[in-house]
């Protein structure tokens, strides 16, 4: 059985099984939030303490093993110069910043996301995109084929395309499967196992080919839960993390986006008579002559008003000049640049590593990096979802299988001698000072090293991001921004979390609950796709 077949079987089983499961978020055990997490002091490192190899020359990274790919612009086309960066501390702030960028667009808009749903927030953005296209601005969108199946979303894509907006990666009305399914002799430009190689990147670029270009990169897709549209529904009121950037790094993001866009065009061209762009060319000509179709949607008036209010917000952005580098990771082409960047940052850390990651199934290389860091006296703190808050709870159950190995590092001779340690925390969406859940899934993917270097992007510490999904990330050097992000971690994110004990880690490794074991085994199916 090949990977594609396993994918289809797993997807079918997942849909059936998860459809029968009702997810509930329960409060953590009494007393677990008694102590408010506080940010530990960390003396500033001397400027010349250890140069960061993450900003080294491209030759310091392993390139693609594919001869036809090599290093041709697969790494950042610009050197790690200083750029302007500001933190977007949550989804509602990111939504306002994104809308503000769209409204200021003068030449081009490039948007890529795994998910772009036709709900209240997505429809608001789609409306702006249509208006900007009518103003003569070049608008291009890339979304993933498997993540946008709802009928309302499909009609939104149809509406965008009938107004001349280029949407790649997914054709409206489910026509993408013409491009997605491998057909012998008709898909020379297509990865034969592409159904398992998803587009997980998140990029939002405005006027990127100009010196006034700006971009947003991070963990957010385009849907209500990411933008925190409905505070009355905690399970869909997510915690996420973006950054907004200006400077030469934006050109690197444009390069990455354009490479992806061209990849989809080549796939369609390889389909001959099945090229869906030929369908859209004739469809648009017909609609332009006889009139465009009116598309209606089902929405909640209160959420529509909430979105409009959020769009009018003007977040106070604290831009800081920061040395930075953009990373584009495409495993289908043999690239592993973000993983390499992570390991270089680990190797460089001297005192503290903090990691917030939505989906945590660590690789052997990651665990070895933790062990090496702890042996040097580094404090490592990892935060991820609990099964109660993970939108894919079975993946947390799989990740828990590694907790015992990770926490056992604290008993190593190197850890005892150096004073280093590793902690694992799980997000519950309950604050230590509140009586009920107020937050849903934590979807953020960021890390801070010695409060000097930070990584923010779409990259999860799991097998899919490492070996299957295309990803984006920005690494930056800034004491100011990294300390601010560390403060968010300690004073906000850990306040919704509880620390995993060694005893619990052992129990997770060998669970006794039959249903838990079944769900864990189900989650492990996704690992087996590798």
What pLDDT is attached to residue 326?
Answer: 93
Domain ranges of the chain: 81-312, 324-528
User: Which residue has better confidence, 192 or 98?
Assistant: 98
User: Which residue has better confidence, 470 or 12?
Assistant: 470
Strands (E), 303-351: 320-329
What pLDDT is attached to residue 148?
Answer: 81
Q: What is the mean pLDDT of residues 42-64?
A: 71
Note whether 81-312 and 324-528 share their fold. Answer: yes
What pLDDT is attached to residue 69?
Answer: 54
**Is residue 33 pLDDT above 80, yes or no?**
no
What's the sign of the alpha-carbon dihedral 229, 230, 233, 239? positive
CATH classification (class only), 324-528: alpha beta
pLDDT in tens, 376-397: 999 999 999 999 999 888 889 9
What pLDDT is attached to residue 28?
Answer: 59
What pLDDT is attached to residue 336?
Answer: 86
Q: How confident is the model at residue 11 (pLDDT cuts 50, 70, 90)?
A: very low
**Is residue 484 pLDDT above 80, yes or no?**
yes
**Is residue 364 pLDDT above 80, yes or no?**
yes
What pLDDT is attached to residue 350?
Answer: 92
What pLDDT is attached to residue 63?
Answer: 73
Give the count of beta carbons closer than 10 Å to the beta carbon of residue 360: 26
pTM: 0.90
pLDDT in tens, 201-230: 999 999 999 999 999 999 999 999 999 999
**Is residue 467 pLDDT above 90, yes or no?**
no
Taking CB atoms within 8 Å and a gap of at least 24, the contacts of 175-183 are 175/276, 175/279, 176/145, 176/276, 177/145, 178/271, 178/274, 178/276, 179/145, 179/264, 179/267, 179/268, 179/271, 179/276, 180/145, 182/4, 183/271, 183/274
What pLDDT is attached to residue 457?
Answer: 96
pLDDT in tens, 419-429: 999 999 999 99
Find out if CATH 3.30.870.10 is the number for domain 81-312: yes
Give the rounded percent of residues in the chain with a pLDDT score beyond 90: 56
**Average pLDDT of the chain, as a whole number:** 84
**Is residue 418 pLDDT above 80, yes or no?**
yes
Residues 6+ apart with CB under 8 A from 494: 37, 383, 425
pLDDT in tens, 237-261: 999 999 999 999 999 999 889 988 9
Assess contact for 492 and 498: CB atoms under 8 A: no
Q: How confident is the model at residue 430 (pLDDT cuts 50, 70, 90)?
A: confident
SS3 content of the chain, % helix, strand, coil (to 5): 45, 15, 40
Q: How confident is the model at residue 172 (pLDDT cuts 50, 70, 90)?
A: very low
What pLDDT is attached to residue 178?
Answer: 63
Q: Show the tokens assigned to 72.
A: 């041709």
What pLDDT is attached to residue 245?
Answer: 97
Q: What is the mean pLDDT of residues 286-301?
A: 90
What pLDDT is attached to residue 181?
Answer: 61
């Amino acid at each position: 059985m090949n990977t594609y077949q396993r994918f289809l079987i797993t997807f079918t089983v997942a849909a059936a099984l998860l459809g029968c499961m009702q997810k509930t978020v329960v409060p953590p055990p009494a007393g677990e939030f008694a102590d408010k997490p506080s940010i530990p002091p960390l003396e500033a490192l001397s400027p010349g303490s250890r140069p960061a190899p993450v900003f080294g020359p491209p030759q310091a990274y392993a390139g693609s093993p594919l001869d036809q790919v090599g290093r041709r612009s697969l790494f950042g086309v610009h050197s790690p110069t200083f750029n302007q960066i500001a933190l977007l501390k949550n989804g509602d702030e990111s939504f306002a910043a994104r809308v503000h960028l769209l409204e200021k667009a003068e030449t081009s808009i490039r948007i890529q996301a795994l998910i772009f749903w036709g709900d209240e927030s997505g429809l608001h953005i789609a409306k702006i995109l249509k208006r900007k296209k009518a103003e003569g601005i070049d608008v291009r969108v890339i979304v993933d084929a498997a993540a946008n199946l709802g009928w309302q979303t499909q009609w939104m894509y149809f509406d965008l395309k009938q107004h001349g907006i280029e949407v790649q990666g997914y054709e409206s009305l489910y026509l993408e499967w013409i491009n997605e399914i491998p057909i012998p002799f008709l898909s020379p430009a297509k990865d034969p196992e592409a159904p398992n190689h998803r587009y997980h990147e998140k990029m939002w670029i405005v006027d990127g080919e100009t010196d006034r270009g700006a971009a947003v990169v991070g963990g957010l897709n385009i849907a209500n839960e990411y933008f925190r549209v409905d505070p009355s529904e905690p399970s869909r009121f997510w915690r996420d993390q973006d950054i907004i950037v200006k400077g030469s790094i934006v050109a690197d993001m444009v390069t990455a986006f354009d490479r992806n866009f061209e990849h989809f065009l080549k796939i369609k061209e390889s389909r001959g008579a099945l090229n869906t762009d030929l369908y859209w060319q004739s469809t648009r000509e017909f609609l332009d002559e006889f009139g465009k179709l009116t598309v209606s949607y089902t929405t909640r008036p209160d959420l529509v008003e909430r979105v409009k209010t959020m769009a009018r917000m003007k977040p106070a952005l604290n831009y800081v000049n920061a040395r930075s580098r953009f990373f584009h990771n495409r495993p289908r082409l043999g690239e592993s640049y973000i993983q390499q960047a992570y390991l270089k940052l680990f190797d460089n850390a001297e005192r503290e590593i903090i990691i917030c990651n939505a989906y945590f199934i660590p690789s052997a290389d990651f665990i070895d990096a933790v062990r090496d860091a702890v042996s040097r006296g580094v404090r490592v703190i990892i935060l991820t979802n609990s099964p109660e808050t993970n939108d894919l709870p079975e993946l947390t159950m799989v990740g828990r299988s590694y907790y015992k190995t990770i926490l056992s590092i604290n008993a190593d001779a190197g850890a005892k001698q150096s004073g280093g340690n590793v902690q694992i925390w799980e997000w519950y969406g309950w604050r230590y000072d509140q009586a009920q859940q107020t937050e849903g899934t934590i979807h953020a993917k960021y890390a801070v090293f010695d409060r000097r270097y930070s990584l923010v992007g779409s990259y999860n510490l799991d097998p899919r991001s490492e070996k299957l999904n295309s990803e984006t990330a920005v690494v930056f050097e800034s004491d100011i921004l990294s300390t601010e992000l560390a403060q968010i971690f300690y004073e906000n994110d850990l306040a919704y979390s509880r620390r995993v004990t060694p005893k619990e880690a052992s129990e997770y490794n060998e669970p006794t609950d039959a249903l838990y074991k079944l769900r864990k085994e189900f989650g492990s199916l996704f690992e087996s796709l590798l």
